[in-house]
Structure 1
Amino acid sequence: MNLSLKKYVLPLKHTFSISRESHNFQDTLIACLSHQGKTGYGEATSNPYYKITLESMEQEIEAIKKEIESFDFTTPEKFHAFLTTKKLSNFALCALDLAAHDLYGKLLEKPLYSIWGTDISSYPITNYTIGLDTLEKMVEKIKEFPWPIYKIKLGTDHDVAIIRELRKHTDAIFRVDANCAWTAEETIHNAPLLKELGVEFLEQPLKADDWNGMELVSHHSVLPTIADESCIVESDVEKCGLHYNGINIKLTKCGGLTPALRMISKGKEMGLKVMVGCMTESTVGISAIAQLLPQLDYVDMDGALLLKEDIADGIKILEHGKLIFPTLGGSGITLKA
């Protein structure tokens, strides 16, 4: 195989804020794996919360480039198993694993969802994220982008008031993501008020390691809860199943499609609702997520919709969440430049 890396700084349409950080640009790394005349593309974004930068991922991958290029590629799963012996961060591992899956499907001339034996005739609609902002700007974002499902980022001392005001401007489904900002008491108090306002579920209300708090929430919240920061890797699924109603799997955090498929299977086995989310990836990462759609209950794959400019072609998200799947094999990705 031939390996190359491309670094991009993706400008966002709006300042993106959650309870702990804000940014106007998203740094992203694209891994390109070429073999037998085909090229597969994978992506991982930087993330300050997890102390991941473009430079750190690039250094990790470049350090084993010769080993990667000499690897006898047959399947993404065998490639992933090889990579896990190299002590890569899960973010760097994700970029390579997604590229391997895209390459594999292109070599077989089949999309991944077909290789996995799933049917795209029915799939969940992605939510569109409204980041924390002034109330006026949050309302403006909803008016600017009419959508059937919104994920609302919260984490203030007036969160219920925010949802009450936003509800005046749309009858869309709301999902609330506090990004670890609430206490158990706040969650239990807010849940019935938010349920009356059309909120479907609460994502990661408490700190990732507050299992005692989540034990209280699991018994007293009138809204379902979905784990995000508490559910990073495969071993987290079982513990989350005891405290949450569902899990939000991030490809970048767990290390790519290979472990994500196992996490989906484990989550379903435990009776959990299964969601896959994004980390403001371009269409490269979003197209990989799209291949999982038939297996999911919920999805957050709006990353490319939040960008001023995209860097790739692949899955196309149309009005009201309808999708046009790419005709290429794999995840169906082509880079624009």
Structure 2
Amino acid sequence: MELNYEIKVLQLKETFSIAYGNYDKREALLIELSHQNHKGYGECVAIDYYQINLQDFILKIKEIQSKIEAQNMIHPKDFFKFLQGLNLHAFLQSALDCAYWDLFGKLENKSFTDINALPSENLADSSITISAGTFENQVRKIEQSSWNKFKIKCKGLDKIYVEKLLQLNRNIALDSNASFTAEDCLWIQETPEIKGFSYLEQPRPINQYQILNKNGSANWMADEDCQNIDSLEKLVPYYKSINIKLMKCGGLTPALEMIGKARALNYKIMIGCMTESTVGISAACTLTGLVDFVDLDGANLISNDYATGSFVENGKIILSGKPGLGLELKK
């Protein structure tokens, strides 16, 4: 097996604004694993909030490259056990895990969904994200969109703004990126009309969720508070829903396990994304038959996607059905 890697720059179609700041591009690290003329791909992205430095990842890859290349082709779940012994950041682990699943499936001539007997029909629609801004600009973007589900970014709580959003009578979720105060959360979960939002994502800064009550009006959804499978049990009294992202939890292999445990704990589940190309989005698309909510618009928000595979069109998940994750790089 051979390992190659390359840094790509993902350009946003427009400046994106969230409570954490504004950005118009992201750096991505593309991982390529190859064997017998087949190539598998995975990706991780530099996210400021997580203090990701892709140069650190490259140094780590150089340190472990010979160990990875010495591995025989084994089942991806066994390969993941090998990865766990390399002391990798979850983001880098995810890129390697996804790349291996893509390669393994291509060698076996079977898709990821077939290998894991996953549902591939009647998939939930994805939302598209509307960045923070004035109510008027956000409404204009909603009205101009051909998508049916929307995740609206906001900075702090404006009660009049919330009432206006609810009056639109559209399928809307609200993501404050941890900008709500404790008082904001109390008002939200005690206001019956809030049930009009499909969910309210990560209302408070990380580990400051104790004010939340999952039995109130809000469908609170944990994002940064829910990093991996170890987060699930402690969040049960506070959150109804969780947002699983492959980079957060470390790849497709742990995501499958995490979904199983989350179901056992009666969570509603979303498969989410960061700013990613089709390499990352295609991997996440394979899990959409197992979840309640989907937010996989990352590749739709960039102008220079460099891969093809599964994709999202006007909110509809289109699985490639090809071996592995169905990924190919554009020429």
State the one-letter code of the partner of 1:162: Y
Unpaired runs of 5+ residues, structure 1, are none
Using the TM superposition, give the Cα deviation of residue 316 of structure 1 relative to its aligned residue in structure 2, in angstroms.
Answer: 2.9
Using the TM superposition, give the Cα deviation of residue 164 of structure 1 relative to its aligned residue in structure 2, in angstroms.
Answer: 4.1
State the one-letter code of the partner of 1:121: E
> Paired residue for 1:54?
54
Using the TM superposition, give the Cα deviation of residue 167 of structure 1 relative to its aligned residue in structure 2, in angstroms.
Answer: 5.4
- In 2, the alpha carbon distance for the partners of 1:81 and 1:130 equals 38
Higher mean alpha-carbon deviation, 142-151 vs 266-275, is at 142-151
- In 2, the alpha carbon distance for the partners of 1:80 and 1:252 equals 14
Q: For 1:93-132, what aligned pairs fall within 5 Å after superposition?
A: 93-132=93-132
> Paired residue for 2:242?
247
Mapped pair 1:235 → 2:265: no
- In 2, the alpha carbon distance for the partners of 1:174 and 1:226 equals 14
1:324 alignment partner, one of 313, 318, 321: 318
Q: For 1:69-218, what aligned pairs fall within 5 Å after superposition?
A: 69-158=69-158, 160-166=159-165, 171-191=169-189, 195=193, 198-214=196-212, 217-218=213-214
TM-score, scaled to structure 1: 0.93
- In 2, the alpha carbon distance for the partners of 1:316 and 1:279 equals 15
1:287 alignment partner, one of 275, 282, 285: 282
Give the paired residue count.
331
Unpaired runs of 5+ residues, structure 2, are none
Using the TM superposition, give the Cα deviation of residue 39 of structure 1 relative to its aligned residue in structure 2, in angstroms.
Answer: 0.6
State the one-letter code of the partner of 1:69: E
Using the TM superposition, give the Cα deviation of residue 121 of structure 1 relative to its aligned residue in structure 2, in angstroms.
Answer: 1.6
Using the TM superposition, give the Cα deviation of residue 197 of structure 1 relative to its aligned residue in structure 2, in angstroms.
Answer: 8.2
Using the TM superposition, give the Cα deviation of residue 68 of structure 1 relative to its aligned residue in structure 2, in angstroms.
Answer: 0.7
State the one-letter code of the partner of 2:324: G
- In 2, the alpha carbon distance for the partners of 1:84 and 1:70 equals 16
2:327 alignment partner, one of 317, 320, 333: 333
Say which SS state the counterpart of residue 59 (structure 1) adopts: helix
- In 2, the alpha carbon distance for the partners of 1:258 and 1:192 equals 38
- In 2, the alpha carbon distance for the partners of 1:145 and 1:56 equals 39
State the one-letter code of the partner of 1:183: T
> Paired residue for 1:263?
258
Deviations 1:189-233 (A, max 9, x none): 13465835831111111122114223xx335x3121111111002
Whether contact under 8 Å (2:32, 2:99) holds in the other structure is: yes
TM-score, scaled to structure 2: 0.94
State the one-letter code of the partner of 1:44: C
Deviations 1:169-194 (A, max 9, x none): x5420011111111232023134658
Distance verdict in 2 for CA 1:74–1:85, change over 3 Å: same
Using the TM superposition, give the Cα deviation of residue 315 of structure 1 relative to its aligned residue in structure 2, in angstroms.
Answer: 1.2
Say which SS state the counterpart of residue 263 (structure 1) adopts: helix
CA RMSD of aligned residues (A): 1.8
Whether contact under 8 Å (1:163, 1:197) holds in the other structure is: no
State the one-letter code of the partner of 1:229: E
Identity, in percent, stands at 37
- In 2, the alpha carbon distance for the partners of 1:218 and 1:166 equals 22
Using the TM superposition, give the Cα deviation of residue 132 of structure 1 relative to its aligned residue in structure 2, in angstroms.
Answer: 0.8
Deviations 1:5-51 (A, max 9, x none): 02111111121121112100011111000012211100111111111
